[in-house]
Amino acid sequence: MSRFHHLLVPVDGSPTSDKALEEAIRLARSSGAKVTLLHVMDALSHMTGFESGTRYAKEILPLMRSQGENLLAQAGQKVLAQGLQVECILITEGPGRVFEHVIEHARSNHVDLLVLGSHGRRGISRALMGSDAEQIIRHAPVPVLVVRGDEAPRKTA
């Protein structure tokens, strides 16, 4: 009997996130686990300060919601196509960073394993960009399987 019954996969539409989803599907197929896809609308990261509050609320936020719904629908279809159980959750509001929402969902929903894509940034790139993946790994209440994205080709001199 498999020890994984419920996998949580944060998705953002990036190639790295897609690789993590593929791995989660593989694991779920072998264990019969349910897959929960989670997308957190990170509204603050899209604020520039140049748009009015009204434009942001009436145009940008609904567009972000629509994109999140489409992303979850597409990812959910990939899971369903494999004959697996899937739940799609879009978090649209609330205080906190993306990693805090992921950790709280894992903690409160009996998740056995978090399957997470990571860019594997290092050095100044990680310091400037931050790393939700790193924070999830540090604070997750369950084991985390990190699926690393393809590395960018190295420049040769």
Q: Where are the domains of the chain?
A: 6-148
- CA–chain centroid gap for 46, Å, is 17
pTM score, whole prediction: 0.83
pLDDT in tens, 136-146: 999 999 999 99
The tokens describing 62, both together, are 């609904």
Q: Element (H or E) spanning 116, and its range? A: strand 113-118
Amino acid at 78: K
How far is it, in rounded angstroms, from Cα 105 to Cα 123?
29
Residue by residue, DSSP assigns 80-110 as HTTT--EEEEEE---SS-HHHHHHHHHHHTT
> Percent of the chain at pLDDT above 90?
59
Q: What is the pLDDT of residues 53-104, one digit of tens each?
A: 676 677 778 888 999 999 999 999 999 999 999 999 999 877 788 999 999 9
Query: CATH assignment of 6-148?
Result: 3.40.50.620
